[in-house]
Amino acid sequence: MKAMLAKVLPQEGGLEGSQSKLYNGTIGLFWLLTIVGIGFGVHAMLIGHEHAYGVTREIPWGLMLAAYVFFVVTSTGLCLVSSIGHVFGFAAFKPIAKRSVYLAIATIVSGFLVIFFEIENPWRMAVYNVISPNLTSNIWWMGTLYGAYLVFMLIEFALLQAGRHKIAGMCGLLGVISGVAAHSNLGAVFGLLNGREYWHGPYMPIYFIVSAMMSGCATVIFFHWLGYKINGWKMSEQLQESLRSVAKLGALLYIVIMFFTTWKCIAGLAGHPPGEYEAFMALLDGPFAHNFWYGEVALGLTIPLLIILAVRARNLTAMAIGSAASIVGIFVMRYDLVVMGLSIPGFHELNIVDLPHILPYTPTLHEWMVTLSGFTFCTILFMMGERLFRGHLSEDH
């Protein structure tokens, strides 16, 4: 075991972090928040989600499922963006590989942490996913493929550390394939529900993949910048150039998602398609309008794109701030996507007395704390990774 670890963990070279009170204090605080969040999750599990969470029979998925979607979208995106370099051989993307693969693992593990408390009986999943599978279920495929994805990413990361790039690349390809399959299945979990007009159709699986890559670009830029910032390191020229390439790809993807979103909105409004029209009106000019315009459009898409254009993909600090805005906006996107799809009641056209036009949902403290613990845990993994793997340097720079 020790010998194996010695192979994977760099013993010398790379970048060394200096200890500071602020750094240790931050890690300590985040551990505390993670443990408190897990405590809230365990409490909810014991008393029953009905009594702890704000989700209802009409809106069975809420903040925590949105957080799970956010984490796995980000993970898939990191995997895809990093694969451009070390799987498909584009040299400009090679320096980001190690940290991105590590972050892909950190984000999916954090996603699993949140979903563990989102599902009522997670322990049954381990048993019945195996002995009683339903091959028509997208949830089954998503879970199984994400399991495979995590295994491939772990092996790939270990091989990258051991310097075995060729076989790591092959593992990375398997990671990409399982990641895309898993992630489009997550889209299909929503898109293949005939009774949910807002989601229904092939749009969801396609959108999920493209928006994953967008999230991936934002996360790569922000966390590379942050990793160097908090440890007081200086970026090599190759890495800076690599991040600029990622920013250019990111700019393209922001535009693609704007294009997707625009047409999705127009399709939801034109001809007043029942179920969809109400949802889009709620999003554009109703209770979700703040989320949509400030969160999704401004923070998530427009501001980061404008920053990349304004600094001509050069100034990394500016682009890291844009990426941070984008990460926040993307989280709002996931929340709106999940909750909006469930908010229009199934019998909305039947003029039912006392049935709200848009069903209410407010996350409870339990939901917020578990979600927060996902983020703090992810940050801990990120910060520890920086130290443990000495700045994730690759040999060629």
Q: How far apart (Å, rounded) are the C-alpha atoms in residues 226 and 386?
A: 10
Work out whether 125 is an interface residue with other proteins (CB under 8 A).
yes
Amino acid at 48: G
Q: Does 122 bind other proteins (CB under 8 A)?
A: yes
In the list 196, 224, 390, 392, the residue contacting other proteins (rule: CB under 8 A) is 196
Q: Find the binder of other proteins among 234, 237, 347, 362 (CB under 8 A).
A: 347
Burial (CB count within 10 angstroms: exposed 0-12, middle 13-18, buried 19+), residue 45: middle
What tokens does 284 get?
């554009």
Asked if residue 271 binds other proteins (CB under 8 A), the reply is: no
Q: Is 346 in the site for other proteins (CB under 8 A)?
A: yes
* Closer to other proteins by Cβ: residue 6 or 355: 355
**Position of tokens 């408390």?**
117
Check: CB of residue 72 under 8 Å from CB of residue 179.
no
Contact status: 189 vs other proteins (CB under 8 A): yes
Closest approach of Cβ 183 to other proteins, in Å?
Answer: 17
Contact residue for other proteins among 139, 284, 298, 321 (CB under 8 A)? 139
Other C-beta atoms lying within 10 Å of the C-beta of residue 121: 9
Determine, following the binding rule CB under 8 A, whether residue 379 of this chain makes contact with other proteins: no
Applying CB under 8 A, which of residues 8, 38, 58, 298 lies at the interface with other proteins? 58
**In contact, 114 and 370? CB cutoff 8 Å:** yes
Distance CA 199, CA 179 (A): 21
Other CB atoms within 10 A of residue 188 CB: 20
Closest CB 49 distance from other proteins, rounded Å? 7
Residue placing its CB nearer to other proteins in the complex, 61 or 223: 61
Site string for other proteins, 224-243 (x = CB under 8 A): --------------------
Nearer to other proteins, 143 or 172 (CB): 143
**Angle 295-245-310 from CA coordinates, rounded to 5°:** 55
- Contact at 8 Å (CB) between 18 and 231? yes
For 165, the enclosing helix (H) or strand (E) is helix 165-191
Residues that bind other proteins (CB under 8 A): 48-51, 55, 57-58, 60-61, 119-122, 124-125, 128-129, 132-134, 136-140, 143, 189, 192-196, 342, 345-347, 350-355
